[in-house]
Structure 1
Amino acid sequence: MTRRAEEDQVWKDLLEKVKGSGPRPTIVEGVEVDLAQPCTVLGGRNGAGKSRVLRSLASTMGEEALYLDLHHLCEQALIVLRSREDFSDMINEVDPVGPNEQRKEDTERVVARNYDAIRWFSFEVEPNDGKVAERFRWGGSTSLIPYFEVEHKGTTFSSRDMGLGEFSIHFLFWVLEQYRDVKGLTLLLDEPDAYLPPLGSSGLLVRLLQLCLSRDWSLVLSTHSTEMIERALEREAFVLLRVDESGAIEATRSKDDPGAADTLMSPAPIRNILFVEDESAWMLCTVLMEAGDRRLPPVSSVIWGKGAGYMVTLQEHFPRSPASMFSYSYVFDGDQRQHVKKSKTARWPALFLPTSQDPDELFVTNAQNVPELARRLNVPEHELSLFLDGKQGLDPHDWVNDLGVKYGRQKVLRVLAEMWVANHSAEAESWYADLTNAL
């Protein structure tokens, strides 16, 4: 099973598990967190209040939650580990505490190393700082410091020699094993991927979700990882935090605003290139993609020319390479259905905009509802009605052009496209299904 397929299955299993359970809203720092959800990902700029919300949740929930600010805990553990030279001798006197096969696989997948051997130890060593020592009790009465020893490609090394990313993952799964018999816990993680590369952070999320599923836990974590945020957006599990001028935290849920994470994401690389006939087709194609899945337009480039001729030439002579970095499609106007042949197997696919009419003909039908068109254009209804009365009988192309001259071409094209798509949802959904099949 691929990593993405594995992750999709985990999300599906989690959602099935909570189906039918009512919401459990908890409000901390003015932010509502639904603890009935299997996973909530908090994002935002530095200083947006992510850590504050997690600490407040931990304080409110008490023993029902486990709060881990992993980067801080790693630093404190390493201070202790590097302050003593006897840990390597101490392991000869005790048995390893893990990992079992599942935690070994989790660690290897996230760290991206196939170890020859992993041994985890727990030592009753108390940090000098009393507050730090309290954090290392892990629900018990004694402070426990982890010590790890691994073998990889013939070399043996310990916690003291590991990079922060590798050490943090061993440490995280070691801590979670201290709570393996606790059911119904809410795991609160503050930037657990802070030391990991992007691919590691994505792998970490799916492993954490699997663990939470097996133990009937829920997960709330903060992150700067675009990979984690993208996965959370797909499942409407992302919450954007920001601090307003008064210092209060504001929250925007991706469930309510799909663009909540736009300010945090790097521009996505273009993957799809779609050829269309003209500017009206360009706008209609763009709006149709937005209606189908708003994540598609940022990774797609729509190119318009002068009519269908150049697209037919490309269709006939542009080969389809299985190793291409891009996916190409020819999106002809609807009135070309009877004239354009289906692409050959070795060529990129051709499809058609909705109906058997061209986009300008579709746009003109919006004049049947002047009040809605006036509202969308933000112009007086009486003024628009008088203007359109003088345009009756015009060729649809000229009608669209004249309306664009009157109120601004780009504004008019977008309004006409959005209004048509909004009022023809069945045709829009059918077209999007054809597009996704083509891509």
Structure 2
Amino acid sequence: MHQSAAALRPWVLHLAQPVDGGVARVVLDLARAQLAAGLRVTVACPGGPLATGLRELGADVRDWRAARSPGPGLPGEVRRLVRLIEEVRPELVHAHSAKAGLAARLAVRGRIPTVFQPHAWSFEAVGGLTAALALRWERSGARWADRVVCVSEAERTTGLHAGVRAAYTVVPNGIDTTRFSPPPATPPAHAARSGDGEKSPPGSPGDENPVEAAAEAAGRPIVVCVGRLCRQKGQDVLLRAWEDVLGVLPGARLVLVGDGPDREPLRRRAHPSVRFAGAVADVVPWYRAADLVVLPSRWEGMALAPLEALGCGRPVVVTDVDGARESLPPALAARCLVPPEDPGALAGAVTGLLSDPALRAALGAQGRRHVLARHDVRHTAEQITAVYRELLGRAPAADDATARPVPPECRESIHP
């Protein structure tokens, strides 16, 4: 006798902190796809844009008060999470990013199936004693994760080389390829400059909009960088490179889309040709207005911004950090990857592409095809759900290239 469809639906509790940026977009997109597939989904997070977006989807959202980084409030955060888990009684917990992963594993301690998704390793984000403590925790905390889901093979390799012995599965990041798509008929930048492109929603918090910026550029090349304004995303490196770009293309314009702790220091050092759009409600019009999208990160798991830009048919230049090479088709990987923290190489790649419209168009089209084939969020959600079913004993282990068996040397550390 077959089990009913309801009996096959896992009830997952997603735990998320941070509540903005790429991690929040992953959680939101995953929840949307899982709800559409009939899964029962609850998300616990500390309010913010993520909670608002989830409620608009109709998801069950629970308030979990927690700071972005570990600190003296951690014991209270863990206690609140224990109570929340007792109330929700999920079949499985899926913790996103380092802070939520820390709290979830301390709260659950292996009592129910737990998935931890780092979205870039915590020990890469810090230095000195803090990095050593973060690495020590990740090595120890791995025993309380039934599965560590990495968004790239490179992220998994980084974990293994650092001694994080766990049961790993690699599931590449995905995006909504319907939302992140080229505009109809006219090229994105030309459409925006003629007033036919999409505008940012009224009242969005940014201090610029793509139509106005593109119109002001009046045919000059526009470079867009989408990301939180912080050390990880490397906008400071881009500003250093931008001086060299202007030496070759003095009419070029750069737009930084996003907000964060480095906003004012970056503003003080920026050339007048650099605009700060702030945090916007919809980044799609900015991708479509761009001639080139750049993300000069210092570290990543697999960044969303390049995938979103490629989905919109825009070529990208990215630094060769974890996940970057895997997220690009071969033609772009050969031309569009530069070493991290290398302003000269970054400037050379940017000026080379800005000077060759035909190449940009070809690379953008290849990028769109690649994202459709490899990085559709629906495929990502299906692979994540397969992990859930495996851990809940409802299906055999996935037999594909992204499902990684537990290495023999890791098995003894999966369970205490």
Higher relative contact order (CA 8 A, sep 6+): 2
TM-score, normalised via structure 2 length: 0.27
TM-score, normalised via structure 1 length: 0.25
